[in-house]
Structure 1
Amino acid sequence: MTEETQRKDLRMPDDSEMFATVTEMLGGQRVRLQCNDGKERMGRIPGRMRFRTWINKDDVVLIEPWDWQDEKADIEWRYEEADANQLRREGHIK
């Protein structure tokens, strides 16, 4: 198989979303994130993801920063390791 046939169509960020990497698990459904815009934010794992999607350190996630408090964000999506590697190869994340 070639690399092109292994490529998947992945969920990409909307205008208000961006990629981030989990740098630290803080407990209480909170994580520390290193965002693609260079800022460090505190992320919140929403209830709809809490028991269905396990988020760990070094996972690549899609976040939506809060409008009223830019240093915080909600996690919208978690990428599998293979999907994160594809995003890195294509230059979407650092």
Structure 2
Amino acid sequence: MPKNKGKGGKNRKRGKNEADDEKRELVFKEDGQDYAQVLRMLGNGRCEAMCIDGNKRLCHIRGKMHKKVWISTGDIVLVGLRDYQDEKADIILKYMSDEARLLKAYGELPDNIRLNEGIAGEFNEEDDDGAGGDFIKFEEENIDKI
């Protein structure tokens, strides 16, 4: 039989999760960095994000975060801007939902950014005329008959 050279298999690597869920210090942007909201995931460690300065950039997830920090649409991230390519950026940090709320409370994020949304900017309150065409309201007796 072959000798085991590693320290464990797939399940050990899966359980090896750094405890980032605990309270961590809030990181603010510095020179060459900006806040962004992820618009859509493109695959291959890339996504499209709308930066606070109004530019839509193609963002690359850095290797330290790849397959460890899961990024989805609507997340607030900190991106590092590139000097030589303005249309591309690198994702440095993903903010948790409570951290994003704190950033908005501190005035770092503008008021038009909608937090905790699936896709950034898809639903506007001005467009909603109260018709409720997407929702069906059931009466109590109708629910029992189904």
TM-score w.r.t. length of structure 2: 0.57
Aligned counterparts of 2:95 and 2:41: Cα–Cα separation in 1: 17
1:74-85 residue pairs with structure 2 within 5 A? 74-85=90-101
Deviations 1:38-79 (A, max 9, x none): 111000001110021111110000001111110000000000
Identity of aligned residues (%): 37
Asked if 1 retains the 8 angstrom alpha-carbon contact of 2:37 and 2:74, the reply is yes
Asked if 1 retains the 8 angstrom alpha-carbon contact of 2:32 and 2:82, the reply is no
**Counterpart among 40, 45, 57 of residue 24 in structure 1:** 40
**Counterpart among 78, 89, 108 of residue 62 in structure 1:** 78
Q: Once the 2 structures are TM-superposed, how far is the Cα of residue 9 of structure 1 from its aligned partner? A: 4.4
Q: Which residue pairs with 1:38 in the alignment?
A: 54
Aligned counterparts of 2:34 and 2:82: Cα–Cα separation in 1: 12
Aligned counterparts of 1:65 and 1:14: Cα–Cα separation in 2: 11
- Quick one: which amino acid aligns to residue 48 of structure 1? K
**Counterpart among 63, 77, 92 of residue 47 in structure 1:** 63
Task: Spell out structure 1 runs of 4+ moving beyond 2 A.
Answer: none
Structure 1: stretches of 5+ with no match in the other structure: 1-7
Aligned counterparts of 2:32 and 2:82: Cα–Cα separation in 1: 9
Q: Report the number of matched residues.
A: 87
- Quick one: which amino acid aligns to residue 26 of structure 1? L
Aligned counterparts of 1:61 and 1:49: Cα–Cα separation in 2: 12
Q: Once the 2 structures are TM-superposed, how far is the Cα of residue 37 of structure 1 from its aligned partner? A: 0.6
Aligned counterparts of 2:56 and 2:89: Cα–Cα separation in 1: 10
Q: Which residue pairs with 2:121 in the alignment?
A: none
Aligned counterparts of 1:93 and 1:58: Cα–Cα separation in 2: 14
| CA RMSD, Structure 1 to Structure 2 (Å) | 1.2
